[in-house]
Amino acid sequence: MILTLGRHISENERKIARTYINMTALAEEYPEFIFIQTRSAQLEIVKRKYPEIFEAVKEAYRKGNWEPNGGMWVEADCNITGSESIVRQFLVGKKAFKEMLGCDGDTLWLPDVFGYAAALPQILSLCGIKYFVTSKINWNDTTRFPYNTFIWRGSTEQA
């Protein structure tokens, strides 16, 4: 059976809507519940296609149950693309969160990518991103990375 791209996109959009409505319902039921949202692209879809869910998200954000804190538009690959593309992810992603919710993220979430550009710390620093979160580093069963938490510094100073 061959599926069209349109059907895949539609199902993805419905899945986002279901996730967001479930998270806002949990926020209503459990006042201590906090949902972290890392992709502004998904919020834009909800705003455009599901305005009532978007209003629920804004209310959860206002109450402190919704944390939009991802610097990128989507969680992008950092090996294949160039630095310009990575910077564009931050420019578009941060602008979208600012316009939709009035917030400015300080964290890059990349839970499932297959490598990191050597320039990433510098790009993060220049884009106002203070923190980087991933789980992929510890997936290697041959060469274990020795740390769970570490400081990966980037400099914005000219050499």
Q: How far apart are CA 157 and CA 7, in angstroms?
A: 47
Q: How far apart are CA 64 and CA 12, in angstroms?
A: 26
CB 113 within 8 A of CB 77: yes
CA 137 to chain centre: 18
Of 27, 92, 20, 90, the closest CA to residue 49 belongs to 20
Half-sphere exposure for 117 (CA within 13 Å, toward CB): 19
Name the residues annotated as catalytic. 112
